[in-house]
Amino acid sequence: MTLESTPSTALSPEAIAQLVKGHQQFLTFLERRVESRAVAEDILQSAFARGLERGAGVDDEKVVAWFYRVLRNAVIDHYRQRSTAERAAEAWTREFPDVQEPEAELRQEICRCVSGLLETLKPEYREALQVVDLHEGKLKDLAQQSGITAENAAVRVHRARAALRRQIEKACGTCSVHGCLDCSCEAAGGSKCEG
């Protein structure tokens, strides 16, 4: 098969020109169907890229109608993904429904030990743990405060907890692994406990 006989996998220049000309109408179409202009712009950009890659064989006269169909499918995909992410975030928050509060004395001991280690974390991780764990806020509180989605807030808290766990293991050694409640590790101001 020669290069000349290979079928084109892209839209014709005329079809591309029609899509570029309809940019504002496409954006308006999307804005009415999604939650914000930013989301509409993201969907439109992705749809343009997808359309340029997969538009082979679309008749130049029907390219606009075809592209509206691409946009409708992109909006449906957007809501499916958002719904899936919201369900995952809800499931994650239900993972610990009956969190028991430690006694005040133990909480103070934990806070003294952990507060020094919080300072070693990245600022966004430190903020996530302070809002959600120390101040007993919700993921949506962290999301609003940080300007991120609830799904991103859930991921940030998960990563922050993992980072703190690594710091505790590093500072406290076997105390952290065995759940030593009479902590005498370096982080608490003593010597490392033997386990």
In order of start, what are the domains of the chain with their CATH numbers? 8-92 (no CATH), 104-188 (1.10.10.10)
Query: What pLDDT band is residue 110 in, cutting at 50, 70 and 90?
Result: low
Q: Dump pLDDT digits (tens) for 134-165.
A: 787 888 888 888 888 888 888 898 998 888 88
| Contacts of residue 19, Cβ cutoff 8 Å, sequence gap at least 6 | 11, 26, 48, 51, 63, 64, 67
pTM for the whole structure: 0.43
